[in-house]
């Protein structure tokens, strides 16, 4: 990461400086090792030569066995050049000390005995043994020539003893250290000079490159008028700079030509924009009118069915409303006669009537009818006077828990009490029928209002399951005569951003499904299946029918405008084409394929990404309710 932030000059300097420092370090290490080796060898050679000379100087004193002379010789041995000499000692052939001298007088102690010098002694040889890191000891034998008894030529050599000289090693270390410091200073000076030379060289080399980089940045920013100046140099960088300046000039010329052409094109586009805008507005208006016209045409075809669906619950409301006054009067009459009832029956009615009102209308299912028949049989077995009238009342009022209670049967044996509960339960049933019928009418009206709303360009978040339920409410009369509808809605379906005209897509697909089922099964009920799911991040709506398969050559054209397979006067060929346009505006797609049992159409829509969590939960709840409504519509 650090190397990426370095400039070319920095990288070049860093590389060359690293090589120089490495070379200087290796050279300094080798010079130091060579100096240390040279000083050590000089020290050892000087020590051997000195002890050899001392041995020659003391031969006469050894020959005379004169210890005093040996002591004098030892004291006179040190010269100013021998400043590293610590002591000189003379030993007999047995290794005993004969004479010694130390510098200074209280210097290192002199051994009183050494190992005897081995025989035969070699005159030119010597031995040096380290006594530590600070001094070395040099031992050399005293060699005397032996003469024969006749006084002729020497016949052998004898060694009456040895001389030992100890020299300090500190001076050698000091010399090596001084040479090392001097070498370091010389190396550092040379390194500094080389780095300065490299710096000057790198700057001269990199400056033109930096100028080229600045030139490319100016060129990228649109500055074509500032050439790159690399000075008066005559090398490859000057050639590169000249080529770059030529390229910049050519780009500037091309840019001027492009700007001129662009201005001409802009002028031409401006001249034709007005016509294109007007034509586009007319086309959009025509498309909107065409979609609305197709919607109204289809709604006109469904008007009779919708009117029938509204008329049925309206008739139910009118029927129960006509009998409401009669039942209210009957309740008043029965209540006026309760004063003649026994006291326990009056108290029982005062307790039961609020419970019946609070209980409200209860659904009539198979279990309820089974309980009514069972209670009626038990009442007959017990000899009750009117079991057909009493048993339904016990079930509807929720009095089954006391069905075998003699007190209950006694209360119901009084005509005013029985009549009061009968008419009260009838009014509760009438209220339930009125409410259910009004809700059904409200759903149909709501669906019609959404369906007939004009085409809008804006997108809103809608619940797909709810829009399908609204369409099923409008087409209920048409569908229930043709096919059985099965719905399978996803509970966690997210909202979708689309136009309010999405309902027209479901209307066209369901209307086409009804036509296909009628053609394939004219004498029996067909099948229509609606499934919604969230797969691969897309909301998928699959509408399948049990109609005949679509031929391949026809399936490729069914989404084209004005293409239809229906007879003349029955279809315009705009339905699926309009569906495609509606889905494209909200990012959706539609496709069709043949199933083993019929044909399937699948619509995919992108889910809304802006819906908050609370809204998604509300949509899920609405989807559950929609699934229940669709189940009733299918029945």
- In a domain, residue 331? The reply is yes
Q: Are residues 407 and 467 in the same domain?
A: no
User: Can you give the pLDDT at residue 292?
Assistant: 63
Q: Are 509 and 580 in contact (CB under 8 A)?
A: no
- In a domain, residue 509? The reply is yes
- Phi (first) and psi of residue 583, to 5 degrees: -70, -35
pLDDT in tens, 153-207: 444 456 677 787 777 777 777 777 777 777 778 777 887 887 777 777 766 666 7
User: Can you give the pLDDT at residue 307?
Assistant: 67
- In a domain, residue 501? The reply is yes
Of 431, 448, 467, the residue that ends a domain is 431
Q: Are residues 415 and 344 in the same domain?
A: yes
Q: Is the pLDDT of residue 606 over 50?
A: yes
Give residue 206's Cα distance to chain centre: 42
Q: Which of 112-116, 468-472, 535-539 has the highest mean pLDDT?
A: 535-539
pLDDT in tens, 292-338: 666 666 656 556 556 656 766 777 777 777 777 777 777 777 777 77
First to last CA, the chain: 71
- In a domain, residue 544? The reply is yes
Helix 170-220 to helix 8-57 angle, to the nearest 10 degrees?
170
Q: How far apart are CA 176 and CA 29, in angstroms?
A: 12
Q: What percent of the chain has pLDDT over 90?
A: 8
Range of the domain at 492: 456-634
Contacts of residue 261, Cβ cutoff 8 Å, sequence gap at least 6? none
Q: Are residues 390 and 474 in the same domain?
A: no
**Out of 60-74, 299-313, 453-467, 589-603, least confident range:** 299-313
User: Can you give the pLDDT at residue 67?
Assistant: 75
CATH number of the structural domain spanning residue 57: 3.30.450
At residue 377 the predicted structure's pLDDT band, cuts being 50, 70 and 90, is: confident
CA-CA-CA-CA torsion sign (120, 126, 130, 131): positive
Angle at 484 between CA 478 and CA 487, to 5 degrees: 105
Query: Do the bridges between strand 526-535 and strand 483-488 make them parallel or antiparallel, or are there none, so unpaired?
Result: parallel
- In a domain, residue 53? The reply is yes
Length of the chain measured in residues:
635
Q: How far apart are CA 476 and CA 306, in angstroms?
A: 8
Q: How far apart are CA 429 and CA 488, in angstroms?
A: 32
Angle at 48 between CA 47 and CA 52, to 5 degrees: 115
Of 431, 465, 498, the residue that ends a domain is 431
Q: Can you tell me the mean pLDDT for 92-121?
A: 66
* Strand, helix or coil for residue 130: strand
Per the model's pLDDT, the better-predicted residue between 534 and 312 turns out to be: 534
Q: Are residues 477 and 623 in the same domain?
A: yes
Per the model's pLDDT, the better-predicted residue between 619 and 439 turns out to be: 439
Q: How far apart are CA 125 and CA 138, in angstroms?
A: 11
Say how many C-beta atoms besides its own lie within 10 A of residue 112's C-beta.
11
Q: Is the pLDDT of residue 402 over 60?
A: no
Radius of gyration in angstroms for the set of CA atoms belonging to the chain, rounded to a whole number: 61
Q: Are residues 340 and 379 in the same domain?
A: yes
Of 431, 464, 483, the residue that ends a domain is 431
User: Can you give the pLDDT at residue 564?
Assistant: 64
Q: DSSP of 495-552, one letter per residue?
A: PEEE-TTHHHHHHHHHHHHHHHHHHH-TTS-EEEEEEEEEETTEEEEEEEE-SPPPPH
Q: Are residues 395 and 540 in the same domain?
A: no
Provide the number of structural domains found in the chain: 3
Q: Can you tell me the mean pLDDT for 90-103?
A: 75
Q: How far apart are CA 190 and CA 69, in angstroms?
A: 58
Q: How far apart are CA 455 and CA 296, in angstroms?
A: 12
Q: Are residues 462 and 395 in the same domain?
A: no
Q: Are residues 44 and 160 in the same domain?
A: yes
At residue 124 the predicted structure's pLDDT band, cuts being 50, 70 and 90, is: very low
Q: Are residues 523 and 608 in the same domain?
A: yes
- In a domain, residue 618? The reply is yes
User: Can you give the pLDDT at residue 294?
Assistant: 61
486: which 2 tokens? 């099965």
Place of tokens 């008894």: 149
Q: How far apart are CA 459 and CA 585, in angstroms?
A: 9
- In a domain, residue 276? The reply is no
User: Can you give the pLDDT at residue 530?
Assistant: 95
Q: How far apart are CA 450 and CA 470, in angstroms?
A: 8
Query: Do the bridges between strand 526-535 and strand 589-595 make them parallel or antiparallel, or are there none, so unpaired?
Result: unpaired
- In a domain, residue 59? The reply is yes
Q: Which of 70-74, 263-267, 403-407, 610-614 has the highest mean pLDDT?
A: 263-267
What are the CB-based long-range contacts (under 8 Å, 24+) for 193-197? 194/20, 195/13, 195/17, 195/20
Q: Are residues 412 and 525 in the same domain?
A: no
User: Can you give the pLDDT at residue 174?
Assistant: 75
Q: Are residues 425 and 557 in the same domain?
A: no
At residue 146 the predicted structure's pLDDT band, cuts being 50, 70 and 90, is: low
Q: CA-CA-CA-CA torsion for 235, 239, 241, 242, nearest 10 degrees? A: 140
User: Can you give the pLDDT at residue 543?
Assistant: 94
Q: How far apart are CA 548 and CA 518, in angstroms?
A: 10
Q: Are 108 and 102 in contact (CB under 8 A)?
A: yes
Q: CA-CA-CA-CA torsion for 73, 75, 80, 86, nearest 10 degrees? A: 110
Q: Which of 240-254, 346-360, 577-591 has the highest mean pLDDT?
A: 577-591
pLDDT in tens, 271-280: 788 777 777 7
Q: Can you tell me the mean pLDDT for 375-392?
A: 70
Q: Are 579 and 509 in contact (CB under 8 A)?
A: yes
At residue 410 the predicted structure's pLDDT band, cuts being 50, 70 and 90, is: low
Q: How far apart are CA 528 and CA 486, in angstroms?
A: 6
Q: How far apart are CA 293 and CA 270, in angstroms?
A: 35
Q: Are residues 137 and 42 in the same domain?
A: yes
Q: How far apart are CA 88 and CA 162, in angstroms?
A: 11
Place of tokens 């709501």: 446
User: Can you give the pLDDT at residue 81?
Assistant: 60
Predicted TM-score (pTM) of the model is 0.40
């Amino acid at each position: 990461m650090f190397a990426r932030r370095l400039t070319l000059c920095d990288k070049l300097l860093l590389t060359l400086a690293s090589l120089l420092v490495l070379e200087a370090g290796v050279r300094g290490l080798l010079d130091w090792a060579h100096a240390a080796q040279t000083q050590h060898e000089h020290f050892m050679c000087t020590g051997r030569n000195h002890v050899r000379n001392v041995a020659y100087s003391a031969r006469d004193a050894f020959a005379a066995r004169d210890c005093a002379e040996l002591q004098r010789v030892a004291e006179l041995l040190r010269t100013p050049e021998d400043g590293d000499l610590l002591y000189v000692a003379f030993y007999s052939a047995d290794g005993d000390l004969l004479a010694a001298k130390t510098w200074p007088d209280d210097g290192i102690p002199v051994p009183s005995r050494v190992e005897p010098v081995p025989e035969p002694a070699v005159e030119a040889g010597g031995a040096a043994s380290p006594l530590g890191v600070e001094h070395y000891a040099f031992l050399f034998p005293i060699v005397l020539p032996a003469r024969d008894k006749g006084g002729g030529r020497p016949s052998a050599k004898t060694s009456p003893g040895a001389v030992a000289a100890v020299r300090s090693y500190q001076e050698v270390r000091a010399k090596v250290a001084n040479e090392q410091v001097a070498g370091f200073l010389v190396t550092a000076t040379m390194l500094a000079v080389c780095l300065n030379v490299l710096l000057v060289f790198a700057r001269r080399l990199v400056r033109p490159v930096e100028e080229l980089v600045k030139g490319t940045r100016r060129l990228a920013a649109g500055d074509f008028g500032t050439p790159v100046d690399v000075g008066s140099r005559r090398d490859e960088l000057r050639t590169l700079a000249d080529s770059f300046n030529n390229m910049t000039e050519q780009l500037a010329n091309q840019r001027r030509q492009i700007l001129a052409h662009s201005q001409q094109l802009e002028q031409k586009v401006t001249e034709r924009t007005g016509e294109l805008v007007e034509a586009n507005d007319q086309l959009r208006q025509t498309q909107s009118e065409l979609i609305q016209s197709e919607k109204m045409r289809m709604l006109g075809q469904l008007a009779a069915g919708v009117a029938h669906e509204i008329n049925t619950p309206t008739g139910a409301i009118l029927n129960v409303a006509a009998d409401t006054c009669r039942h209210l009067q009957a309740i008043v009459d029965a209540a006026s006669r309760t004063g003649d009832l026994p006291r326990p029956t009056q108290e029982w009615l005062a307790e039961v009537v609020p419970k019946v009102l609070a209980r409200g209308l209860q659904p009539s299912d198979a279990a309820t009818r089974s309980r009514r028949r069972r209670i009626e049989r038990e009442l007959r077995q017990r000899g009750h006077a009117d079991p057909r009238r009493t048993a339904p009342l016990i079930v509807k009022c929720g009095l089954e828990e006391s069905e075998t209670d003699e007190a209950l049967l006694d209360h119901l044996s009084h005509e005013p009490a029985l009549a009061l509960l009968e008419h009260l339960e009838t009014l509760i049933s009438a209220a339930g029928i009125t409410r259910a019928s009004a809700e059904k009418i409200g759903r149909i009206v709501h669906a019609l209002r959404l369906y007939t709303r004009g085409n809008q360009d804006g997108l809103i978040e809608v619940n797909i399951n709810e829009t399908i339920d609204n369409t099923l409410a409008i087409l209920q009369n048409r569908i229930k005569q043709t096919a059985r509808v099965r719905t399978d809605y996803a509970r966690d379906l997210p909202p979708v951003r689309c136009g309010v005209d999405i309902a027209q897509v479901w209307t066209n697909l369901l209307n086409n499904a009804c036509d296909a089922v009628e053609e394939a099964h004219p004498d029996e009920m067909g099948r229509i299946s609606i499934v919604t799911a969230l797969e691969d991040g897309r909301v998928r709506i699959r509408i399948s029918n049990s109609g005949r398969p679509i031929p391949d050559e026809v399936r490729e054209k069914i989404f084209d405008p004005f293409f239809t397979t229906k007879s003349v006067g029955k279809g315009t060929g705009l339905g699926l084409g309009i569906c495609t346009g509606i889905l494209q505006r909200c990012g959706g797609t539609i496709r069709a394929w043949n199933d083993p049992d019929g044909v399937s159409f699948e619509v995919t829509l992108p889910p809304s990404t802006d819906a908050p969590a609370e809204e998604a939960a509300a949509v899920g709840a609405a989807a559950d309710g929609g699934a229940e409504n669709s189940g009733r519509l299918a029945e």
